[in-house]
Copies of this chain bind each other. A is one copy, B any other.
């Protein structure tokens, strides 16, 4: 496996093209990775596959590449979205990073009745997704949507896309343990009935969904309530586990 650094470049790529790097990419390549003029890197832009490139200029603050040959053809990730309610910063960052590694196509932050934060740091999310995509050999970045209220997202929902509804919060009626918590079925069983339609995974905030939200979700035809085992998972763990099970059952891990 090549150990050449790998960079996402937001520019058209073709043999011989000269690519000036952003200050951040130049810093990473020259000061962090200690690369010098003439060294090889791999680059991708989300459209044109992966290309070999050489560092044609390097100084402390700037660098440029010359594009060589294409090394991989473009291909994308399965059509899976992640809808999640932002949690604390470190955990939200982890969700963005791991969702990118696990091959999600779109990341859609939503606010719910109990969401702790309704602001997102879009630039920060982009930077985390870029770095994760570079390290995980993806050929594209996930699309990161602006934050929106869950009820509005549901109002405008495309019918053909199923929502896999992970309700990790238990239930106010005290059904959380030993009772009828399992109103959804185990996620892997629920997915066994499906081929691979467009899908979205929905993960709630730490405080769970409100009764109104839960009732609405459970009443929708395209919503599949699922459980993720007998323990209560934190929001970020539920997101990672659900993405893994979907990729394994319906996605490109098969």
Task: Report yes or no: B177 in contact with A232, Cβ–Cβ below 8 A.
Answer: no
Shortest distance from the beta carbon of A182 to any chain B beta carbon, whole Å: 11
Task: Report yes or no: B253 in contact with A103, Cβ–Cβ below 8 A.
Answer: no
Q: Which of A113-121, A214-222, A244-252 lies on the face that meets chain B?
A: A244-252
> A24-52 interface mask toward B, CB cutoff 8 Å, 1 = contact, 0 = none?
00000000000000000000000000000
By the criterion of a CB under 8 Å from any partner CB, how many residues of chain A are at the interface? 45
**Oligomer: number of copies:** 2
Q: Which of A13-21, A61-69, A79-87, A165-173 lies on the face that meets chain B?
A: A165-173
Asked if A154 is at the interface of the complex by the 8 Å CB criterion, the answer is no
When chains A and B are docked, how far (Å) is the Cα of A188 from the Cα of B254? Answer: 8
Between A and B, 28 residue pairs with Cβ closer than 8 Å are A1-B169, A1-B171, A1-B174, A1-B208, A2-B174, A72-B178, A101-B231, A101-B233, A101-B234, A101-B237, A102-B241, A103-B230, A136-B231, A136-B232, A137-B177, A186-B253, A188-B249, A188-B253, A188-B254, A229-B248, A229-B251, A229-B252, A230-B253, A240-B244, A241-B244, A244-B244, A245-B245, A248-B248
Asked if A138 is at the interface of the complex by the 8 Å CB criterion, the answer is yes
- Which residues of B have CB within 8 Å of A244? 240-241, 244-245
Asked if A228 is at the interface of the complex by the 8 Å CB criterion, the answer is yes
Within 8 A of B (CB), among A130-178: 135-138, 169-172, 174, 176-178
